[in-house]
A and B are shown apart, each in its own frame.
Chain A
Amino acid sequence: MSPRTRAVALRVLPALLLLALALAGPWLAPHPIDAPVAAPYAEPGGDALLGGDQLGRDVLSRLLAGGRDLVLSSLLVAALVTGGAAVLGAIGALRPRVGRLVERIADVLMLLPAVLGILLVTLSWPDGGRFAVIAAAVVLGVPYAVRLAAGAAAPVADSGYVEAAAAGGERLWHLVLREVLPNLRATLLALFGLRFVAAVYLVATAGFLQVGPQPPAADWALMIRENSSGILLNPWSVVAPSLAIGLLALCVNLAAAALAPQSGRKAVTVL
């Protein structure tokens, strides 16, 4: 293992551990998430290590159970956004006219703040539930990702072997999937990390604004919203889920930064 690989692995590890904990959390919870075990906003102690929430439910159990859906939704959003942006970016690099159209659509969607866009979709589609949040996050994430993907795909699309394949009469799909995208692996992996960070932000914010998971579901963002009035009685009921979301965002972000391809530039020495 080269020093660089080891450094990257070290910075990716915390994110993987946290993700694994969030995914396995529901099985580790010591108490049911929907039955009171203590007084409302009870202080930590006895049966409830982190105290009780607004209804006296165990904060620790809800904390362990409340991350899985957030992580799964975010992973799905990040995968769809990265995949969509990669294909659109590669097509755009191969067919400049499509590229310009995609660019214009991205310009339009940039005018819509993602949080407002999510509210727009979830309110216009009340029965959409979690699917509405995911769909909105994907549509609003692609414009930001497609710029990066198109920028990375442009030099590959101009390279000799792609031109040779195009001259050989290969179809567009073959060019995109077999010639261009395999050469963007490193960029796409970093893009996936970045989009996962953005997806955690969006899905958590949707939960906080009460358009995502509905009570009595355990969800970190919803826990912060529900328990904020008892923050002085049992601070852990708010601090614990805040720390969980903060740590998740931070670890994944550091992992994404470590995965980003080194540009090969020399460190700037003067200034």
Chain B
Amino acid sequence: MAGPLTADTAAPAGPSPHGEKARRSRAPLALLAARVGLVVLKRATLLAVLLALVFVTVELLPGDAADATSERGESAADTEARRRLLGLDRPVLERFWDWMSGLPTGDLGVSARGEKVSDLLSSAFPNTLLLGGLALLLTAVISLALGCWAALRPGGRVDRAVSGTATAVLALPEFVVAVALVLLLSLWTGWLPAVTLTDADGTPADWTMLILPVLALTVPQAGWNVRIVRAALADEARAPHVETAVLDGLPPHRVLTHHVLPGALPTITAGLATSTGMLLGGAVVVETIFNHPGIGSVLASAVTDRDSPVIAGVTALSGAVITGVLLLADLVRDMTAGGRR
């Protein structure tokens, strides 16, 4: 830690380009590590609070897993016995501690049917992550490409067409998009499979079966993010250094990639990170439609069984994933802001 600091003070004073560069690249390393640690700590705390909140929600609302799974005409004694079996008769604080301390080790509790929630989700969640990850990637590519294209000629025909379409599709629920896609690309043209079939190992049998679910997830999110990219670029285009670049006679695409985009990047990343939650929620819906083997199908049976421990486990997992993505966005913001300060 002392090395960079002494090197920094030894560098010649004054605005020599070499000293400036050295200070920027080496001196803040320790500072950067501290800031990364702080950001990680903050995000972890938020996640822990969310998990506690999830437990309290399940706990405070009337009815528990034993009530929810009771058959019609079951005696109160039977329900009571199952409550004891599921450990629901223990004190609240003890169960809270059990649930919270189990989470970091991957133990997500027991479903109302007595199965381990982590077993239920271990094969399903990766499939959902694949779906959501592909959709996020596609969203990023589409929104950056269309946003930049529209930004090259503000108010032009392309700009109006892109912004108008984005506004139109961003509010569509995923299942409506999915119905339209299935009708167009599957049932009427026969190009793509309408349902996902699974192999013996529980993964989709063919990659073409991923196309429609990913598209259904991407369309509304791409709508949101095109608007965010477009607005971020427009904001950044008003900065004085961009005007200088334009007056220097640089070609528009170079101004866009070298002078506007870097400054707009934090906003764009934050927008994409916020989409992660929407994508995970939307995946639940889209998976039900296409019969994709993800958490959507697990949750669908949880809905019929009124199985709240399962949904609490899914919420914990998705909260962790979103925390990870937001953390990445935080770091991108810190990096770019650090370079500009």
Contact = CB atoms under 8 A, between A and B. Distances in A.
A111 B318 CA distance: 8
Nearest to B188: A235
Contacts of A211: 303
User: What class of interface size applies to chain B in its complex with A?
Assistant: 35 or more
A111 B281 contact: no
Contact of A209 (B46, B285, B314): B285
B237 A268 contact: yes
Given A113-B280, A253-B168, A120 B311 contact: yes
Interface string A98-110: 0000001001111
B134 interface: no
B36 interface: no
Contacts, number: 170
A245 B171 CA distance: 10
A238 interface: yes
B158 interface: no
Given A123-B303, A268-B237, A205 B175 contact: yes
A111 B246 contact: no
Interface residues of A, number: 55
B167 A257 contact: yes
Interface string B309-322: 00110110011001
A208 B173 contact: yes
A228 B318 CA distance: 28
Nearest to A113: B281
Contact of B285 (A117, A198, A208, A250): A208
A123 B176 contact: no
Interface in B147-176: 151-152, 154-155, 167-168, 170-176
Contacts of B285: 115, 205, 208-209
Contacts of B234: 268
A127 B61 CA distance: 10
A211 B300 CA distance: 10
A116 B154 contact: no
A108 B46 contact: yes
A113 B322 contact: yes
B284 A108 contact: no
A109 B274 CA distance: 12
Contact of B154 (A201, A232, A271): A271
Given A124-B58, A205-B173, A209-B288, A270 B46 contact: no
Contacts of A177: none
B50 interface: yes
A250 B168 contact: yes
Interface in B33-88: 46-47, 49-50, 53-54, 57-58, 61-63, 67-68
Interface string B110-122: 0000000000000
Contacts of B308: 120, 123-124
A201 B255 CA distance: 38
Interface string B213-248: 000000000000000000001100110001100100
B53 A108 contact: yes
Contacts of B167: 253-254, 257
A249 B57 contact: no
A133 B147 CA distance: 35
Contacts of B50: 108-109, 111-112
Interface string A196-229: 0110110011001111000000000100110010
Given A107-B46, A197-B171, A271-B151, 11 more contacts: A108-B49, A111-B319, A121-B61, A123-B307, A124-B63, A126-B306, A208-B288, A239-B179, A242-B179, A246-B172, A271-B256
23 contacts: A108-B53, A111-B326, A112-B277, A115-B281, A123-B306, A124-B308, A126-B63, A126-B68, A197-B171, A201-B171, A201-B173, A204-B173, A209-B285, A209-B299, A231-B182, A239-B183, A252-B171, A253-B171, A267-B154, A269-B154, A270-B246, A271-B152, A271-B256
Q: Nearest 10 CB-CB pairs, A to B?
A: A115-B281, A113-B281, A125-B61, A249-B171, A113-B277, A253-B171, A124-B61, A124-B308, A111-B319, A242-B179
Interface of A: 104, 107-117, 119-121, 123-128, 197-198, 200-201, 204-205, 208-211, 221, 224-225, 228, 231-232, 235, 238-239, 242, 245-246, 249-250, 252-254, 257, 265, 267-271
Interface of B: 46-47, 49-50, 53-54, 57-58, 61-63, 67-68, 151-152, 154-155, 167-168, 170-176, 179-180, 182-183, 187, 233-234, 237-238, 242-243, 246, 252, 255-256, 260, 274, 277-278, 280-282, 284-285, 288-289, 299-300, 302-303, 306-308, 311-312, 314-315, 318-319, 322-323, 326
